[in-house]
Structure 1
Amino acid sequence: MTQTFTLRRDVAAQHVDVAPGGEIVLRGKLVCSTDASVIDAATTTWPAGAPGGASVDSGGLVDLEQGGFHMTSRDPATHEVHAIATGDPAPACALAGVEAPCLPLRLLPLARSRLQTAQELGSCLHGGITVEVRDAVLPPVAPAAVPYVQGAAVLLGASVLASIGWVVQRRRARSPFGRLLDLAKRTRAKLRAADPVVAAPLVPAVEAALGALKRRRVDAASTEGKRVAEVLRRVELRLDASAVEARAGREQQAADELVREIESALEAVDEVDGARRGGA
């Protein structure tokens, strides 16, 4: 049996009645009337007219990880997000005084990125997001349906194996090796999107570090592994700072162009006024 409800925006967090391993699907979007940005559960899509141009940010309306969920997929085009309840501690739920798992809202961080208050952002948002909770309870089966149930059992077994694989993969990702490997991959991905001048001297070093990790030449839990992690974090911070500077530069360029246009218009008005006074 599937339950569906609308995500509330008048509370800090909303409890979801789902057991660990259960899946939820969030569908829908909110559109801000002031800047035309589109916010769904896990992403923010900026229009072409926004400072820095069209882009998609990874932060959406809901902080799934802090609410006790692990996001398995998201689609910024269809605005559909799938997540699984982990059963892990959910700090945001505890902070809001809500039973875990829950769906904590990110209105404050989203508002701050726009230099607004949460109330101002909330007033510009129009639309809605629905939450679908998928229940794994199976109804009684008629004898004639046994062959179909057997097929479903095979699929269910495959699903269980996939869930076990996901748990194993998740535990590996939480290990020192998994965290270090994720850091290296994340840094490499940021290098690919970075300014070529900044990325050129860093790419070979990061690729070498990633190769050494995959070959287990460095123990992630050792002192040397921690040194590698520290260097990669420094690279990531440098890339993040470079990206912020680049975006600020694009915003400044856009602002300069607007200012020049307005100043040109004002000069034209002054010339017209001067001509009128001279004619008088």
Structure 2
Amino acid sequence: MRSRLLVLFAAICFATTGTSRALGPDSATSLGVAAIRFIVGTIALFAITAIARKSRATTVSLPLYIWIIAGFGQAMYGATFFAAVHETGVAVGTVVALGSAPILTGVLSALLFRSLPTRKWMLATAAAIAGMSLIVLSGGETNVSVIGILYALGAGLGYALFALASKRIVQSGVASDVAMSRVFGIAAVILAPTLFFVNTDWVFTQGGISLGLWLGIVTVALAYWAYASGLAHLEPRETTMITLAEPVVATMLGALVLDERPATLAWIGIVVVIVALAYESLNNSSNVKH
């Protein structure tokens, strides 16, 4: 039960990412927010990992490019996800990003590793594409931005790169919490230079400090520590099912906290994508989360 609660806690933390960004300073840029999140999160995650670990991590030799791809994918996911949320809202941006990630992961696996997709994956993919199409075609009080959808698809691609590379890292014997600490560190290094080219005045405001601390400590450090801790005692498919709470909670936060009002067609699309994710995860063996 403790492991399930840890993973559920992580999913809820992940779900607050988009809403936190939306409630942050108006002058904050997506690149700036992503960079601050990774910098603060990396420091906190290294600290938590160092305190929580009872033994030294096993030294595993891996090609440097694997780590770089994982870090780049996470950096790409963070920057484009925040842009998607800004352009098209938390509910739509989150669901499209999370819905497209398994699809793009499967496509990349087939292209790079000749891993043939299963019938279940193809059915889930078709349903997810149908759901996202409904979202794109919908109207309503909440504007569904084509640019926002493209950003969300970019986030899905970034996560796919991160997931494939991170899976290779974890399978090599590196502990999940150690792997995530290093990957987030690389993502922070990749995004940190962007702070010289974007407005950073918001960082030193009360709202900016609160946003940076919440995103870094809660949605990165605590979330990934809890997720990695839960992974050790749960089957991957069970873990994936529990983390489906993320798009559900994110959608609820968008509606309740931000007063987002997607049209009926968009709500149907959101439900279809979540059902597709649930169906696909029944045969999902991935251990890595965004």
Q: Considering the TM-score relative to the shorter chain, is it more than 0.5?
A: no
TM-score (norm 2): 0.23
**Higher percent of residues as helix:** 2
Could you say which structure has the greater relative contact order, defined with CA pairs below 8 angstroms and 6 or more residues apart? 2
**Higher percent of residues as strand:** 1
- The structure whose Rg is larger is 1
TM-score (norm 1): 0.23
